Structure 1
Amino acid sequence: MSRRRLLHGTAGAAVAGTLGGCAMGGEADGDTAKGVASAANPLGVKEDAPLEVVIFNGGFGEEYAKAHEAMYRERYPKSQIKHAATQQIAETLQPRFVGGDPPDVVNNSGASQMDFNGLVSQNALTDLGELLDAPSLDDPSVKVRDTLLPGTVDVGSYDGRFLSLNYAYSAYGIWYSQTLFAAKGWEYPRTWDEMIALCKTIKAAGIAPWTYPGRHSRYMSWPIVAAAGKLGGLDVIKALDNLEPNAWRHEAVRAAAEAYYQLAVDGYLQPGAEGMDHIQAQTAWCRGQAAFLSCGSWLESEQKAVTPPDFRMAIAPTPSLTSADKMPYEAFRGAGSEPFIVPAKAKNVRGGLEYLRVMLSRKGASDFTRKVSSLTSVRGAGDGITLGPGLTSVTALIEASNGGAFTWMYNSYYRKLERERIDGACAELFTRRINAAQWCDRVQKSADEFAADPAIKKYKRA
């Protein structure tokens, strides 16, 4: 199971349809384990209540969870913890949700994750707002919410309720090899004009300026939307999330699409990339066949088997389109991933919330990073840990942004819109079968179809 499927897996249509048709909801009427709240026990955990944790056994494995469980057991030695790990999350847990007997904590991830739209619409998830307002484990004077990196709460919120803790943290941007750039005397471009000028130089040196996974062309939608948001401001992205009419035809979106379409028109994409999957494109990039790649911060871990020792991969923000962009160059897309939930009908909701609080401690978060080579959504939890060049550059990206991370939600609210419609439109755009204006029209038509479909639950991002 690749890191990509781990972080971005989706349930099959049959699973999603079944979830949407089953009654799984209700408030936390299954929560029978309640203790007395105190300064030492702010969430009111019943100290001897059993706790059941189910982990997705993918690229991160399950050992990190066993470490978190040990930390929980240190705090509540009378509690018996039942641990399970599976790659078949939906197949294993869907009957238990329907039967009103779900676990207390679920790592709802992987290709067979339970459909979030179905879970949310059936009120099957505990609102984690109480966790956000609880004191952090490390400093009682600091709330848990104030220990989290930007984008963590946004990506786990539905209709204003924080329902999913996305524990891992992914930064998205443009990747390049510091070794290659130093050898050639190239500087990463901060503006789009500089990008095009450098692409011309790179091509003249016999290297493809860009590669991309043509079989998953949505990867190239990420810099387009990021550039549009930086140009026009966060309201442009919120309009996309809210399926507003003509949102994808906004002048900022069109300008960004035209900019990245120029890569295809000017011959700056690696020949044959349209037939590559993500591993093939990333491997070509690691072998020095291309200079730039759009990806997230899981890239270093995913490519560790084929990355040359002296490659020194690094991530950078999408270049500014103009000197009048509303967001600074340093702004980047950053968001939590790897979702954890506490079912509304869990028998030990208090314990489930406390388990997440343990995960969000500095020790819990740093242990995770050491074990799986991925950052968490806890601010500064990677400090003092020896990181690879890629993750080191990610931490530098976060610091340089000075809190300027942003994200979008349409891929979470309406997963098929990105996975099928935008993916297909990008495949056409970067093979020049449609132009940028047609791309905007095509994606807008798809968004309008989603907006008009009464069977699809709609979400409003404020």
Structure 2
Amino acid sequence: MGSTSAHNNEGLGRRDLIKRSAALGLISVPTMSFLSACASSGGDDSGDKKPQGQKSKDNPFGVAKGGKIDVVVFKGGYGDEYAKAWEAAFNKKWGVTATHTGTQEITGKLQPRFNAGNPPDIVDDSGAQKIKIDVLHKNGQLLDLAEVLDAPSVDDPSKKVRDTLIPGTLDPGLQEGKVVALNYIYTVWGLWYSGKLFKEKGWTEPKTWDEFLAICKEATAQGIGGLAHQGKYPYYINVAIMDLIAKKGGLDAMKAIDNLDPKAFVGSDAAKEAVEAIYEVVEKGYLMPGTNGLTHTESQTRWNQYKAAFITCGSWLENEQLKQTPADFDMKFMPMPLLPGSKMPYEAIRAGSGEPFIIPAKAKNLAEAKEFMRLMLSKEWSTSFAKEANSLTILADGVDPSVKLRPGTQSTVDVSKKAGTNTFRYLYTEWYSEMDTAIQNASNELMAKRIQPAEWLKRAQAAVDKAAKDPASKNNRRD
């Protein structure tokens, strides 16, 4: 899923993304896919006496030689080798020693540290067990990242860091008007298929929902599942549901959900048609057998074994499945097919920034943490990430064009270029984590045929209405 900048929140859409389109056109690199202001001025000693470096344009936060930094990275689809490469580069530049933790148990390992006032210095707060950004923000545990965003760019000190980023990519890190998380990776979400399988079967990429269902029907008749999804994590099937809502109803339908409209779901024709379309896949038996009970990697691996025609996912999929993907699989990404009367074109995709990096307000090594994030947004570190993780960062034109793309990654670049400014991005997932969880739970019930579409809409609307009662919600608004 992952992020964006003040209140130009049209997804990654329209005017904010005209420049993004141009930026992507200049990049022939892997896709897929900070910042900070002190809560108190200075604030880099956190009670410990430690050496302070001389601040300058090349050292805006006063990093001292020989310091330390505590880095925690979600070891998921992108692995953590990229972070180890960054840490080595940071040590070479500043002599700073890194303590590195790569884990999928972000909450389990870090919540006790946050509670004790002893958090790491920088965290990739991602995955199913991430600590909710909105909860951390409400508890005053996140640094406002404005200071890093306004610092000089490593590559062009005449520019601020924020001016070197793909437009719109800071928005998902906003909480009450402040950027408190930097979503580092430029991500697209949608459907995936095997180019090899489609060629063998004579199937062509479906542009309408009827064409999609026709392939699912034919696949099922041949003993192949139509659609696989990562059943134990209903976040993934919500990619399909929410994409269909946005493409059917346009940006207004998307904004109604983010803005907690009393008719965001119940009373929305787009939402009704979208959830009924997904349920039709369930009702007709087009799901890959067993997919409802599988983890993300289990479902994805069966898809790699040609046991399903389609799977929903974001653009981290290729890197996450490197070891399981046959050499001739020819992984392909595609937009969500259209329901009849959709307001957005077929080429429209959900696109934006994912993988939120945060700096805890009580980090002991704030100067080092802020400089580490600034360097993340240099071409050197962006290219390093692309090489290790097969993904594009939010740095515009940020990867050496000599980097060769894998098939799936190349297809995300191609689809992004075709989409142009026809992109969108929900923000409720970052703003209202409890609402997001409730909608995911409803989708889990829907896919298991324990509830019908009407009940799903009712539960989703109840989650919206509950979120709207939170006074803080008035500070999150998309125009």
Q: TM-score, normalised by structure 2?
A: 0.79
CA distance in 2: counterparts of 1:124 and 1:203, whole angstroms: 49
Q: Specify the SS of the correspondent of 1:53.
A: strand
- Shift, 1:313, TM fit: 1.2
Which residue of structure 2 aligns with residue 437 of structure 1?
Answer: 454
Are 2:429 and 1:411 equivalent residues in the alignment? Answer: yes
Give per-residue Cα distances to partners, 1:214-257, cap 9 Å, x unaligned: 33334222111112112222232233223332212222111211
Question: 1:422 corresponds to which letter in structure 2?
Answer: I
For the 8 Å contact 1:151–1:405, the answer to whether it is kept is no
Query: Which residue in the other structure is 1:30 paired with?
Result: 43
**Counterpart position of 1:280:** 298
2:193 aligned counterpart, secondary structure: strand
Number of residue-to-residue matches in the alignment: 434
Aligned amino acid, residue 148 of structure 2? L
Residue pair 1:55, 1:65 contacting (<8 A) in 2 also: no
Q: Identity, % of aligned pairs?
A: 41
CA distance in structure 2 between the aligned counterparts of 1:262 and 1:439, rounded to whole angstroms: 14
Q: In structure 1, how many angstroms separate the alpha carbons of the residues matched to 2:287 and 2:123?
A: 41
Q: Are residues 450 and 57 of structure 1, via their aligned partners in 2, closer, same or farther at CA, if it must alter by over 3 Å?
A: closer
Mapping for residues 34-433 of structure 1, pairs under 5 Å: 38-41=56-59, 43-48=60-65, 50-56=67-73, 58-59=75-76, 60=78, 62-73=80-91, 75=93, 77=94, 80-85=96-101, 87=103, 89=106, 97=114, 102-109=119-126, 113-149=130-166, 152-249=169-266, 250-325=268-343, 327-346=344-363, 348-382=365-399, 383-419=401-437, 421-433=438-450
Shift of the 112–371 alpha-carbon distance from structure 1 to 2, 3 Å rule, reads same
Contact 1:121 1:457 in 2 (8 A): no
Secondary structure at 1:247's aligned position in 2?
coil
CA RMSD of aligned residues (A): 3.2
C-alpha separation in 1, matches of 2:118 and 2:449: 52
Q: Distance in 2 between the 1:151 and 1:322 partners?
A: 29
Report how far residue 291 of structure 1 moved.
Answer: 0.8
Moved more, 437-446 or 212-221: 212-221
Residue 316 of structure 1: CA displacement? 0.7
Q: Which amino acid aligns with 2:300?
A: Q
**1:179 offset after TM fit, Å?**
1.0
State the Cα distance separating 1:172 from its structure 2 match. Answer: 1.1
Check the 8 A contact 2:53/2:65 in 1, yes or no: no
Greater mean alpha carbon deviation, residues 229-238 or residues 245-254: 229-238
1:308 CA displacement: 1.9
1:21 aligned partner: none
Equivalents in 1 of 2:386, 2:304: separation in Å? Answer: 23
Closer/same/farther in 2, CA of residues 204 and 264 from structure 1, 3 Å limit:
same
Please give the per-residue CA displacement for 1:308-332, whole angstroms capped at 9, x wherever unaligned. Answer: 221111111111224551x332221
Structure 2 equivalent of residue 16 of structure 1: none
Query: Structure 1 residues 268, 159: closer, same or farther in 2, change over 3 A?
Result: same
Query: What is the CA deviation profile of residues 436-462 of structure 1, one whole-angstrom value per residue up to 9, with x for unaligned ones?
Result: 2332112212332344468x9776133
Gaps in structure 2 of 5+ consecutive residues: 3-37, 46-50
Deviation at 1:151, TM superposition (A): 5.3
* Higher relative contact order structure (alpha carbons within 8 Å, sequence separation ≥ 6): 2
Letter in 2 for 1:239: A
Distance in 2 between residues matched to 1:360 and 1:184, nearest whole Å: 43
Shift of 1:166: 2.0
**Alignment-derived partner of residue 12 in structure 1:** none
